[in-house]
Chains A and B, each alone.
Chain A
Amino acid sequence: MSISTFASTLQPAAPTSVVGRAYWQARDTWTVTKRNLRHFVRQPRLLVFSTIQPVMFVVLFAFVFGGVAGAAISGDVAYIDFLLPGLFVQSAAFRSTQTAVGLAEDLERGVVDRFRSMPMSRVAVLAGRTLADLVRSVAVILLMVAVGYAIGFRFTEGAVSAVGAVLIVALFGLLMSWLFILLALYVPGAEAAQTAGFVVVFPIVFASSIFVPLETMPPWLSTFAAQSPLTHAADAARAMSIGGEVLVPTLLTVAWCVALLALVIPLSVKRFRAMT
């Protein structure tokens, strides 16, 4: 207990080069990511909601629609094998609305004011949230795989392809998270973010190859769904899980993600800076 402990001579490190700046951006992002992951495990309600819901989706969709939808699937593919890779994408898409809710709540808290008064990277506040949500997304997918295995799902294309299936969905989830970051920066309030998320995400998830093959839809809908990035992501994950055309849907998914991320990330950062 001495006065001298106040007298820190420590000074914030100032980035002096492009490399230095990139290093601090990465480290700040990691610090914010750790904080958001801690938040996640310390909110039991959120933890339960975001783990039980995907498990319920796997079980309910597999057993409720398995009979009807399974008959519409060509070949001898079981519905759970068709469904599960699609549900990875569904889960990542639904989870991204939580990114908007989390950021909206942060913006209402004083702690973001402190962040903004500090010499830390601006991007880190946003990137740290999307990265934490990415970690969550992957954890939820692994949980879904475990549940899927219990009710008959099997990866048939080997370990590398299975990892590929998870990665392509993770990339897609990252894109969705950033889209919702942008939304949260324009639409104030957590509830607004949630509502907007539901209104937008719900239809685009169903208007895709996530739950059923496009051939079973009316032509106007299947034409729309065939262009959907969610269809590409589901097709890519499905092909890497149980076989089929991998290259085209994977390239399309990556192209969508890279193109939109290149647009959405700078727009979000610009908007966040302008809010200062």
Chain B
Amino acid sequence: MSAEPAVSVTDVRKRFGATHALTGVDLEVREGEVLGLLGPNGAGKTTLVRVLATLLRPDAGRALVLGHDVVREAGRVRQLIGLTGQYAAVDELLTGRENLQMFGELFHLSAADARRRADELLERFDLTDAASRPARTYSGGMRRRLDLASSLLVRPRLLFLDEPTTGLDPRSRNAIWAITRELVAEGMTLLLTTQYLEEADQLADRIAVIDHGHIIAEGTGDDLKDRVGGQVVDVVLVDAGQRDRALEALPDAEPVGSDREVRVAVTDGDPLASVQRVAEALRQQQIAVRDLGLRRPTLDDVFLQLTGTVAQAPEQGPDDDLREVVA
């Protein structure tokens, strides 16, 4: 594995009219790792991917893919990447097999190799039965699988997955995740954009959080969770009327969530001692407890703290992410 990073982005900026899509992005992706680019709608995820995939020219800054400048050496970059987008870029009027053969030929495989590879991928992506049907008739999940297969006719050294599961039902999402994990197991370098915390947590080695066109935090899922704070003891009371008494009994507690919840930070790095202390104090005061537990902050907490917005659950609607401005 070479020392040069798969992606190296320095102060990249991009504007569409009055919209500042990227306001100075710095980012590095090492070869062999999966970087999750996590951000809410319109944060600039798709714009950044389009810059890296040579589809958009940045206004300023420098972006290198495997050491090649995406503007000056765009042709070289295109030989090294695969792009799978949130809007499945397959030909609607061609069949699944024709799509793959066409992309294979355009990746400069011989006609025989393109045919053979198309059949392999159709089988691998569970599309053999639908291979002779126009892509227009495919379900959302099938279309994404075909789109992903279209990036794998040759072996890209860097694969962009731009919101690969946005708008998919849970079953189709799991199928895409399973395929992604196999790609990772083969050592493929991935840049995955997502607005779903769970997706980033499940698939990525490292997460970069993007908001308003720049990276606001970076690290592993654990790093990011630690930034919000360490472990806590969460208590849910039976009776909301007893919360004031509970707060009195526990001087370091703070009210959280509904009117019957309090939270105590774990001190001295001894979680069990904290649980014991909280439990004893409440018991002495005869305060009834419905639930008491040790927990770590979730990525949801991270997201909320960093961006001030609540992240979306995967079942919610598709993301437009500046697509209309870009198009």
Contact = CB atoms under 8 A, between A and B. Distances in A.
A116 B234 CA distance: 52
B120 to A, nearest CB: 5
Q: Which of B106, B150, B152, B185 has the most CB of A within 10 A?
A: B106
A113 B162 CA distance: 13
A64 interface: no
A31 B104 CA distance: 10
A89 B261 CA distance: 81
B103 interface: yes
Interface stretch (A37-45, A65-73, A134-142, A219-227): A37-45
Nearest to A10: B154
Interface string A14-50: 1000000000100110011011001100110000000
Contacts of A1: 123-124
Interface in A72-121: 108-111, 113-120
Nearest to A188: B327
Contacts of B309: none
A11 B155 contact: yes
A28 B106 contact: yes
B87 interface: yes
Contacts of B238: none
B175 interface: no
Contacts of A3: 182, 185-186
B109 A276 contact: no
Size range of the interface on A? 35 or more
Contacts of B90: 110-111, 114
A76 to B, nearest CB: 49
A1 B127 CA distance: 12
A9 B183 CA distance: 14
Contacts of B121: 5
Given A1-B123, A3-B186, A8-B155, A119 B108 contact: yes
A7 B185 CA distance: 10
Interface in B109-155: 109, 113, 117, 120-121, 123-124, 134, 150, 152-155
Contacts of B124: 1, 5-6
B123 A5 contact: yes
A38 B78 contact: no
A56 B252 CA distance: 88
A12 interface: yes
A110 B85 contact: yes
B78 A10 contact: no
A150 interface: no
Nearest to B187: A7
A119 to B, nearest CB: 4
A13 interface: yes
A110 B155 contact: no
A12 B104 CA distance: 9
Given A10-B155, A39-B93, A117-B81, A276 B98 contact: no
Contacts of B117: 8, 10
Contact of B120 (A5, A34, A108, A116): A5
A28 B89 CA distance: 18
Q: Which of B88, B89, B124, B183 has the most CB of A within 10 A?
A: B89
Contacts of A111: 89-91
Contacts of A11: 79, 154-155
Contacts of A12: 79, 107-109, 154
A114 B79 contact: no
B103 A117 contact: no
A27 B107 CA distance: 11
A9 B56 CA distance: 29
Contacts of A28: 105-106
Interface in A228-276: 276
A270 to B, nearest CB: 15
Contacts of A9: 155
Contacts of A34: 102
Q: Which of A9, A24, A32, A119 has the most CB of B within 10 A?
A: A119
Contact of A10 (B57, B113, B134): B113
Given A31-B106, A39-B93, A276 B74 contact: yes
Contacts of B53: 117
B87 A110 contact: yes
Nearest to B182: A3
Contacts of A109: 89, 91-92
B327 A108 contact: yes
B21 to A, nearest CB: 16
A39 B91 CA distance: 9
Contacts of A116: 54-55
Contacts of A276: 54-57, 74
Interface string B58-90: 000000000000000011001101010101111
A276 B51 CA distance: 10
Given A31-B106, A113-B55, 11 more contacts: A8-B154, A10-B117, A10-B154, A28-B105, A28-B106, A31-B105, A113-B85, A117-B78, A118-B103, A118-B106, A120-B108
11 contacts: A3-B182, A8-B155, A10-B109, A31-B102, A110-B85, A110-B89, A111-B91, A117-B78, A119-B79, A120-B106, A120-B107
Interface of B: 53-57, 74-75, 78-79, 81, 83, 85, 87-94, 98, 102-103, 105-109, 113, 117, 120-121, 123-124, 134, 150, 152-155, 182-183, 185-186, 327
Interface of A: 1, 3, 5-14, 24, 27-28, 31-32, 34-35, 38-39, 42-43, 108-111, 113-120, 124, 276
